[in-house]
A and B are shown apart, each in its own frame.
Chain A
């Protein structure tokens, strides 16, 4: 081990995580989360059709604080998956693959999801 200046392979602790990777993973996570949310949508529709005390129970459950937190999460998931989905559809046309473009659109989608969720639940 005479040469201490040998090049080393990239180490995880000094690896700069690209934003595009974050968006890719978030797309998948939000997709799976919304697949689970589909069960809640089904429950809501079944309760709506049943009406009366069944819906009263579902209403109380779906408007409870933990449910609201989850719904805000699903709302964020929707806007992120929507924005990133459109980003994918643009890529399908062969556009937007340049590194700078992909990075910019990733940040834009993330910002859009946060702002849209805030507008949906708080501001409007």
Chain B
């Protein structure tokens, strides 16, 4: 596992920096919408680069969340088996969430 801590550190910092931009973009975009009604949100996501940004946000969020939850588990869960199971479960859930969200954004924006 040599070098994995450094990789974790760098990955966390890169995703964090991306989320500063993507997160603010999302917050400001949602704030500008008149409502969260179906047509309003669909109208917003009909613009391709909005879907691309949202898809990118989902992937980066899932990845950054995975890195954070991993550290929290490593800090508080000490029983080897429970720790291993928690880490695997977290990885699986985050992977499913990331893929599912991107697929849904694609479906909404580009009408698969």
Q: How far is the CA of A32 from the CA of B97 in the complex (A)?
A: 15
**Do the beta carbons of B97 and A42 come within 8 Å of each other?**
yes
CB within 8 Å for A32 and B72 given contacts A38-B97, A63-B36: yes
B35 CB, nearest partner CB in chain A, Å: 9
Contact pattern, B 1-42, Cβ under 8 Å of A = 1, otherwise 0: 000000000000100110110011001000100001110011
Within residues 6 to 64 of chain A, which ones have a CB less than 8 A from any CB in chain B? Answer: 28, 31-32, 34-35, 38-39, 41-42, 45-46, 48-49, 51, 55-56, 59, 62-63
A104 within 8 A of B: no
Binding site secondary structure of chain B: helix
Q: How far is the CA of A48 from the CA of B30 in the complex (A)?
A: 14
Our pick among A41, A59, A85 for the contact of B36 (Cβ within 8 Å) is: A59
A114 CB, nearest partner CB in chain B, Å: 16
B78 CB, nearest partner CB in chain A, Å: 17
**Do the beta carbons of B104 and A48 come within 8 Å of each other?**
yes
Some 30 contacts from A to B, beta carbons below 8 A apart, are A31-B72, A32-B68, A34-B65, A38-B61, A38-B62, A39-B97, A41-B61, A42-B104, A45-B100, A45-B101, A45-B104, A45-B108, A46-B100, A46-B104, A48-B41, A48-B45, A48-B108, A49-B107, A49-B108, A56-B38, A59-B36, A59-B38, A62-B36, A63-B36, A78-B23, A85-B20, A88-B16, A89-B16, A120-B27, A124-B31
**Do the beta carbons of A82 and B23 come within 8 Å of each other?**
yes
**Do the beta carbons of B105 and A45 come within 8 Å of each other?**
yes
**Do the beta carbons of B24 and A82 come within 8 Å of each other?**
yes
Chain B positions within 8 Å of A89 at CB level: 13, 16-17
Interface residues of A, Cβ cutoff 8 Å to B: 28, 31-32, 34-35, 38-39, 41-42, 45-46, 48-49, 51, 55-56, 59, 62-63, 75, 78, 82, 85-86, 88-89, 92, 120, 124
Contact pattern, B 60-80, Cβ under 8 Å of A = 1, otherwise 0: 011001001100100000000
Chain A positions within 8 Å of B27 at CB level: 75, 78, 120
Q: How far is the CA of A86 from the CA of B72 in the complex (A)?
A: 20
